[in-house]
Structure 1
Amino acid sequence: MNHPGRYLTVLAVLMALCFLGALMFGSTFKTPAAVWQGLVQHDFDIWQYRLPRAILAVLVGAALALSGTIIQGIIHNPLASPDILSINHGASLAAVLTLMALPGTSVWMLPLAACVGAAVAFLLLLVAGRHAGPLQTALIGVALSAFYAAITDYLMLTHPLEVNTAMVWLTGSLWGRTWSFVEVGAPLLVLLLPVALLFSKSFDLLTLGEAKASTLGVNVGRNRILLLGLAVMLAAVAVAISGPIAFLGLVAPHLARKLVGGRHRALLPASILTGALILQISDIAVRTIRPPLELPAGIFTALIGAPYFFYLLRRSL
């Protein structure tokens, strides 16, 4: 914790190694030399399937982790994350509504619909939990998530012709994600991620409390709105690409905080790297457990995140 730069370097190296691993593992195993040859010779499998999927694993993992870090810091709730506070489920519901109402809709519509759904879900949470503590807010988020999931299930049952498209997307997976998803998601996430990092100093001041932050020259109201807006957009775009990935936004910030401490200048980039690393490992694991069958990456992250959430819940009681 005294040397956050070293931890950031280690995380970056591990992420680079996992990126290579994502290109090596699939329906068939490729050696690093074969991967390099495939990149040079524009091998179809690597360029059309493995490379876009590897890029999206980094971006989606980073976005969900950073969103969770921002939310936990702004509302001072260690139990908070985009999926637990119903943001991911709100985004999922809006995306499914779009898929059902506009069959064959362009992939460009999903991030817009997901952002609207995520924003509405978060506003409803703020209204419902305006007088609640951290534990109560988390439980309200879980209840709202169940409500949105029930509506989503109803839509799928009543629209059987579109259910396959929705099911593939709702599993929380990077399977079948091609360059069209990179073209949609990468520009948005590449823009949003560094913008959030610019707020690291203000973030540290906000954690001191609103009164002290105001005396130090921070516009508390504006910064809170901007940061929460960034968190919602990051989660929404990530969900639009991969579907809901469970607990990643909860676990990654906690792991990053244990490594580099609570100073956001180091915590924010550490969360980005940790989230990307977790999703990369999860995606590689689900590809290699029972090839050629694939499990959704969201199942792997849920197996890690659910016990950790219960641990945090018990500690809050």
Structure 2
Amino acid sequence: MKNWRTFCTRPRNHPAAAVAVLAVLAAVLAALSLCLGAVEVTPAEALDALTGHGADSVSARIVLYSRLPRTCGSLLAGAALAVAGVLIQTVLANPLAAPHIIGVNAGAGLAVTLCCALAPMTSLQPVAAFGGAMAGVLLVLLFAESTGASRLTLVLAGVAISNLFTALIDAVTTIWPDALLGYADFRMGGLAGVTMARLGLPALLIAAALAASVALAGQLDILALGPETAQSLGLSVRPMRLVFLGLAAALAGAAVSFCGLVGFVGLLVPHAVRAVVGEESRPLLVCSALGGAGFLTLCDLLARTVAAPFELPVGTVLSIVGGPFFLWLLVCNRGGRTHD
């Protein structure tokens, strides 16, 4: 036990080391994602494809048009969803909160579905996804502030809101069957159809929101002390809550716009990273971004390889891992009565 505590304490005293380790792991997993699959590509062939040599070969086409967009998408979505989870958990003071649990992902998915149904030729899906994600998170915040809900009640309310949005997605796809081609993949979450062109605008939104989150880490630390303490320290609590929830909505919405309703990344990764680097917001945010990027890339790699040549939805892999973890969190927090 003493050795385990020492192991967990060292990264807290040296967060830069944790950042470096997670960055290396994410890079290694990205390289494996480029090389492994139903058709194996050697590292040399993958490097040649990325540098423009042998661009007409079969391996280069596999890397450039299938695996590279997919790997970039998993890195972006993993980082975005993990940081969104950190922001939501801190603002709502609830370790059970996550984008897919409280309706943020489902709200973004509903907005994307409506956008595809009503304006299919536009490229506004990421913007619409932000609006839908923001609607979901504001509904949960309104419920929390108006009822003073306990942790478990807040989660149950979020599940109800998420199910409502999902039912509306089903209704829209029933009325407009072509609104979401491959709806089953969208609902489970997946990266099979991602292209580099489709990642352009979401990547910009994610990069801007990640940078803003890290820049505002000091205010997030103060907000984590509780509304009364934060107010006494001069922080405008309500506006800052809205700012951080807006950043979480931008991150989750941008990710959902190209990877579908991926779940559990925003729940699993922040808890794992907190156990290693502690509660200080800046290292927590940076390490969560790197950990989320590597974790989702690993799950997507498993989804492609464990049943090759068949492919599992990445959401299935995440649910297998995340479901038991969420049940464990519910048991650990069964007596929690945190307000706000």
Counterpart position of 2:338: none
- Separation (CA, whole Å) in 1 of partners of 2:165 and 2:152: 20
Say which of 82, 86, 91 aligns to 2:103. Answer: 86
TM-score (norm 1): 0.94
- Separation (CA, whole Å) in 1 of partners of 2:288 and 2:62: 31
Call closer, same or farther: CA 1:177–1:251 in 2, change over 3 Å: same
Call closer, same or farther: CA 1:226–1:162 in 2, change over 3 Å: closer
- Equivalence map 1:84-163=2 (5 Å): 84-102=101-119, 104-106=120-122, 108-130=123-145, 131=147, 132-162=149-179
Query: Is 1:263 aligned with 2:280?
Result: yes
Query: Is 1:8 aligned with 2:19?
Result: yes
Is contact 2:30-2:71 (8 Å) kept? yes
**Shift in Å, 1:316:** 1.6
Call closer, same or farther: CA 1:240–1:310 in 2, change over 3 Å: same
Q: Is the deviation greater in 69-78 or in 177-186? A: 177-186
Gaps of 5+ in 2: 1-8, 335-340
- Separation (CA, whole Å) in 2 of partners of 1:115 and 1:178: 20
Query: Is 1:305 aligned with 2:315?
Result: no
- Separation (CA, whole Å) in 1 of partners of 2:282 and 2:308: 41
- Separation (CA, whole Å) in 2 of partners of 1:155 and 1:22: 34
- Separation (CA, whole Å) in 2 of partners of 1:129 and 1:225: 14
- Separation (CA, whole Å) in 1 of partners of 2:164 and 2:289: 30
Query: Is 1:236 aligned with 2:276?
Result: no
**Shift in Å, 1:308:** 0.9
Query: Is 1:166 aligned with 2:177?
Result: no
- Separation (CA, whole Å) in 1 of partners of 2:49 and 2:178: 38
Is contact 1:64-1:234 (8 Å) kept? yes
Query: Is 1:192 aligned with 2:212?
Result: no
Query: Is 1:19 aligned with 2:35?
Result: no
- Where 1:277 maps in the other structure, the secondary structure is helix
**Shift in Å, 1:48:** 1.7
Is contact 1:206-1:220 (8 Å) kept? yes
Call closer, same or farther: CA 1:316–1:38 in 2, change over 3 Å: same
- Equivalence map 1:66-85=2 (5 Å): 66-85=83-102
Give the AA of the match of 1:11: L
C-alpha distance after superposition, 1:137-170 (max 9, x if no partner): 0010111111221222232233334453433433
- Where 1:27 maps in the other structure, the secondary structure is coil
- Separation (CA, whole Å) in 2 of partners of 1:101 and 1:166: 16
- Where 1:177 maps in the other structure, the secondary structure is coil
- Separation (CA, whole Å) in 2 of partners of 1:168 and 1:250: 21
Counterpart position of 2:298: 281
* Percent identity of equivalent pairs: 36
- Separation (CA, whole Å) in 1 of partners of 2:36 and 2:108: 30
Counterpart position of 2:39: 28
Is contact 1:246-1:299 (8 Å) kept? no
Is contact 2:116-2:180 (8 Å) kept? no
Give the AA of the match of 1:71: I
- Separation (CA, whole Å) in 2 of partners of 1:176 and 1:26: 15
Gaps of 5+ in 1: none
- Where 2:181 maps in the other structure, the secondary structure is helix
Counterpart position of 1:293: 310
- Separation (CA, whole Å) in 1 of partners of 2:181 and 2:80: 26
Counterpart position of 2:3: none
**Shift in Å, 1:259:** 0.9
Q: Is the deviation greater in 67-76 or in 4-13? A: 4-13
C-alpha distance after superposition, 1:26-52 (max 9, x if no partner): 331112112112222232221122112
Is contact 2:114-2:179 (8 Å) kept? no
- Separation (CA, whole Å) in 2 of partners of 1:164 and 1:215: 52
- Where 1:245 maps in the other structure, the secondary structure is coil
Counterpart position of 1:55: 72
TM-score (norm 2): 0.88
- Where 1:129 maps in the other structure, the secondary structure is helix
Counterpart position of 1:315: 332
Call closer, same or farther: CA 1:67–1:161 in 2, change over 3 Å: closer
